[in-house]
């Protein structure tokens, strides 16, 4: 259960990219629980999408899935256009879609680099652009949260293109927030740390030869005895989307149990 007020997003139309599984799906459920009028999610898995829509409907929100590959600019823009066509406006955006395919400075190909930039930076940028254009055209306030990464501070050597893309999105978040303060559009980012999602499970098994015990082993390596949970991160994201976070804009918040810049 969420600790947020059940009317935190009352009457809002919310778009969540990458919303059919993991953190995106957690954000969709939390937004619906917190009173959103409509929750639009993007994704490429119709079975997961339909199951999520059923959950959203049970919570009293309308729901819609837009099939999209956000690495394609036209698809990214269409997620906003489809939301506006269906509901007449867009109030909130969560850019949660992303990839973390491994690559170092030495072995990253131009194709792998482009894949990260297109999915993790270009797609969110043009979703922000289209959403802000709608908000300004209506003279309405709005709120956007970009899902970033602790790796944007520098990260590990084996995720070089991922680091570059997330660091770029962190700077774009601040730039857009500054540019549209006077429009009363708030734009913030969340640097999330190691999180237990289906995507992370697949990455651990594909690139690190992990077995099904990797999550319990990971818990022994971190101070709080567990890694991040999507539902609690979703609470923070919806808090930032909502009026409960006040006038906060241009903030990139570290959501992790590692304190960047500190050492023993």
| Residues assigned a catalytic role | 149, 162, 166
For residue 264, the 8-state DSSP code is: -
245 vs 12, 78, 206, 239, 256, CA distance in Å? 15, 29, 38, 6, 19
Q: How many residues does the chain have?
A: 264
Residue 16 half-sphere exposure, CB side, CA atoms within 13 Å?
34
The residue behind tokens 């149990």 is 257
Structure tokens at 148: 């970033």
The interaxial angle of helices 123-138 and 73-87, nearest 10 deg, is 30
Task: Classify strands 92-95 and 252-255 as parallel, antiparallel or unpaired.
Answer: unpaired
Q: Sign of the CA dihedral 161, 44, 213, 206?
A: negative
The helix, strand and coil proportions of the chain, stated in percent and rounded to the nearest 5, come to 45, 15, 35
Task: Copy the structure tokens of residue 252.
Answer: 């990139």
């Amino acid at each position: 259960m969420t600790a947020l007020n059940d009317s935190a997003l009352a009457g809002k139309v919310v778009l969540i990219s990458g919303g059919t599984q993991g953190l995106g799906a957690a954000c969709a459920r939390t937004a619906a629980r917190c009173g959103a009028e409509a929750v639009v999610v993007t994704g490429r898995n119709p079975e997961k999408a339909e199951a999520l829509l059923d959950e959203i409907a049970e919570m009293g929100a309308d729901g819609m899935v837009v099939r999209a590959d956000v690495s394609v600019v036209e698809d990214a823009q269409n997620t906003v256009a489809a939301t506006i066509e269906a509901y007449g406006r867009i109030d909130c955006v969560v850019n949660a879609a992303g990839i973390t395919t491994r690559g170092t400075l030495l072995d990253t190909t131009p194709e792998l680099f482009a894949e990260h930039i297109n999915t993790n930076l270009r797609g969110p940028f043009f979703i922000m652009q289209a959403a802000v254009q709608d908000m300004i055209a209506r003279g309405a306030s709005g709120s956007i949260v970009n899902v970033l990464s602790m790796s944007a501070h520098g990260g590990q050597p084996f995720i070089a293109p991922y680091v570059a893309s997330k660091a770029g999105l962190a700077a774009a978040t601040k730039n857009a927030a500054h540019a549209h303060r006077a429009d009363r559009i708030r734009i913030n980012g969340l640097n999330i740390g190691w999180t237990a999602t289906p995507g992370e499970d697949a990455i651990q098994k594909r690139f690190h030869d992990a077995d099904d015990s990797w999550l319990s082993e990971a818990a022994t390596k971190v101070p709080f005895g567990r890694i991040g949970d999507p539902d609690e991160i979703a609470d923070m994201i919806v808090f930032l989307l909502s009026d409960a976070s006040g006038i906060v804009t241009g903030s990139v918040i570290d959501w992790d149990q590692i304190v960047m810049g500190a050492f023993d």
